[in-house]
């Protein structure tokens, strides 16, 4: 296994600010809830279920790794929470206090069926006097790794944000309850007060997560808390969480640097202009903001880049195919095009493209699952014909071995039309490239069409 001698430090902070999501229970439903409030009670204790999910980022390749820290988020509501995980889940309810529980239900949303968290409450609510207007508030924390390591559950669709996007705000559901009929009132039966679509939240990680749901009944005019209850619920999150995505982004950037150096070293040489281009990209992207990055982090990056240059200068090679496979697993296609763009510009930096560089670029495009025609377009734009030390007609024209004679003819006609329209371009460089390509197309016609394949 090849080694990558790169070590990067990235300091990250996860912002957490409050966001209010619109209610999912109708006003008539809330009124029905209030009307069911009665004076009664029995005993209940909620259970705190802790699941340890020690997810760690494995090394990228060999010694390739990122050292980062995510800003810990600990909510004020966990200050006095010291539940016993061994409590009996089926203990009787204490109806003298407010109780809550969560169930997963299925909701029809047009032609789709989606999961939702059904939040239910029962028990007693105490207000200062009769007929006080009340508000329901529900917040969620991820306490999979314990209360001290609690992470915010973010709102995926906060007000004013594009659908399906998160702006980093903490999820908070708020709905008006209307007037509480009595100063001390009790909800005798479990009653659903909110149905929260599971795709409305963004969790910190994929997989089984222990979630803490906090339900509060507040004064509508001043925010005075009448009652509060919390419970835990284990949810199997099928989507990557925001911590997963952040780590994937960090790893992708590190892998980008490694692949760019692999292209630079493909012809057995590391030109200063190529090295400088890669280093500047790393400083601008890996560190995100130079102004907000510590001297220690910058120093670690510079040391890592120097070590990488030394590694490739000694003729060492990477398993670039495996690196690309990892990129495909963790990076969206847009990021993969950015990687290929950087690699093409590395090959462009010294003014000529060696055959070895073109070969690895072609492999990278394939391994990164880049569209073949889009790759050719990128090559035509960044690496014009006169930069190639060795011209491969098939690669330049997009001819593949599985093309029949008729398919090759049609393809060459299409290429001819494209380049013939550029002969009259106002840009002299494009004119020159068009003239060269038309000559190559004429040669290919004689080789593949007239003579047959």
3-state SS of the chain is CCCCCCEEEEECCCCCEECCECCCCCHHHHHHHHHCECCCCCECCCCCCCCCCCCCCCCCCCCCEEEEECCCCCCHHHCCCCCCCCCCCCCCCECCCEEEEEEEEEEEECCEEEEEEEEEEEEEEECCCCCEEEEEEEEEEECCCCHHHCEECEECCCCCCCCCCCCCEECEEEEEEEEECCCEEEEEEEEEEEEEEHHHEECCCCEEEEEEEEEEEEECCCCCEEEEEEEEEEEEECCCCHHHHHHHHHHHHHHHHHHHHHHHCCCCCCCHHHHHHHHHHHHHHCCCCHHHCCHHHHHHHHHHHHHHHHHHHCCCCCCHHHHHHHHHHHCCHHHHHHHHHHHHHHHHCCCCECHHHHHHHHHHHHHCCCCHHHHHHHHHHHCCHHHECCCCHHHHHCCCCCCCHHHHHHHHHHHHHHHHCCCCCCCHHHHHHHHHHHHHHHHHHHHHHHCCC
240-390 has the same fold as 18-59+73-239: no
240-390 folds as: TerB-like (1.10.3680)
The CATH code belonging to domain 18-59+73-239 is: 2.60.40.10
Q: What is the pLDDT along the chain (453 residues), one digit of tens a residue?
A: 333 333 332 222 222 223 333 334 444 454 454 444 433 332 222 222 222 233 222 332 232 233 222 222 222 223 233 333 434 445 688 999 999 999 999 998 788 888 999 999 999 999 999 999 999 999 999 999 999 999 999 998 654 344 444 556 899 999 998 899 899 988 999 999 999 999 889 999 999 999 999 999 999 987 899 999 999 999 999 999 999 999 999 999 999 999 999 999 998 889 999 999 999 999 999 876 555 578 888 889 999 999 999 999 999 999 999 999 999 999 999 999 999 999 999 999 999 989 899 899 999 999 999 998 899 889 888 988 778 777 666 667 677 767 777 777 777 777 778 777 877 778 877 777 777 777 777 777 766 666 555
Q: Where are the domains of the chain?
A: 18-59+73-239, 240-390, 393-453
């Amino acid at each position: 296994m090849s080694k990558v001698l790169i070590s990067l430090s990235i300091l990250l902070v996860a912002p957490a600010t409050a966001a209010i999501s619109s209610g999912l229970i109708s006003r008539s439903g809330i009124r029905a809830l209030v009307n069911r409030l009665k004076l009664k009670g029995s005993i209940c204790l909620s259970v705190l279920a802790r699941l340890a999910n020690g997810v760690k980022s494995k090394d990228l390749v060999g010694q390739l790794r990122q050292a980062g820290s995510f800003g810990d988020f600990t909510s004020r509501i966990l200050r006095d929470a010291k539940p016993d995980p061994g409590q009996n889940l089926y203990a009787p309810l204490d109806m003298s206090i407010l109780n809550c529980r969560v169930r997963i239900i299925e909701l029809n949303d047009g032609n789709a069926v989606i999961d939702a968290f059904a939040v239910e409450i029962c028990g007693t609510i105490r207000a200062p006097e009769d007929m006080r207007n009340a508000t329901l508030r529900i917040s969620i924390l991820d306490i999979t790794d314990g209360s001290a390591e609690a992470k915010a559950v973010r709102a995926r669709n906060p007000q004013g944000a594009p659908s399906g996007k998160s702006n980093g705000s903490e999820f908070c559901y708020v709905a008006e309850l209307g007037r509480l009929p009595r100063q001390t009132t009790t909800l005798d039966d479990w009653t659903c007060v909110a149905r929260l679509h599971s795709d409305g939240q963004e969790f910190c990680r994929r997989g089984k997560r222990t979630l803490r749901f906090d339900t509060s009944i507040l004064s509508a005019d001043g925010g005075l808390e009448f009652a509060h209850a919390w419970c835990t619920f284990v949810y199997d999150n099928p989507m990557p969480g925001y911590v997963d995505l952040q780590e994937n982004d960090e790893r992708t950037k590190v892998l980008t640097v490694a692949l760019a150096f692999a292209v630079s070293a493909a012809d057995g040489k590391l030109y200063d202009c190529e090295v400088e281009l890669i280093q500047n990209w790393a400083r601008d992207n890996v560190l995100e903001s130079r102004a907000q990055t510590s001297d220690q982090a910058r120093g670690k990056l510079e040391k890592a880049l120097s070590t990488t240059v030394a590694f490739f200068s000694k003729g060492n090679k990477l398993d670039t195919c495996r690196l690309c496979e990892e990129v495909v697993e963790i990076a969206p296609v847009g990021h993969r095009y950015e990687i290929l763009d950087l690699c093409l510009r590395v090959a462009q930096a010294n003014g000529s493209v060696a055959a070895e560089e073109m070969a690895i670029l072609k492999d990278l495009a394939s391994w990164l699952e880049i569209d073949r025609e889009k790759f050719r377009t990128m090559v035509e734009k960044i690496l014009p014909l006169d930069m190639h030390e060795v011209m491969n007609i098939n690669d330049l024209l997009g001819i593949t071995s599985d093309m029949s004679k008729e398919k090759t003819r049609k393809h060459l006609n299409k290429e001819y039309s494209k380049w013939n329209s550029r002969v009259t371009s106002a840009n002299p460089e494009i004119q020159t490239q068009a003239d060269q390509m038309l000559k190559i197309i004429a040669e290919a016609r004689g080789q593949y069409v007239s003579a047959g394949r």
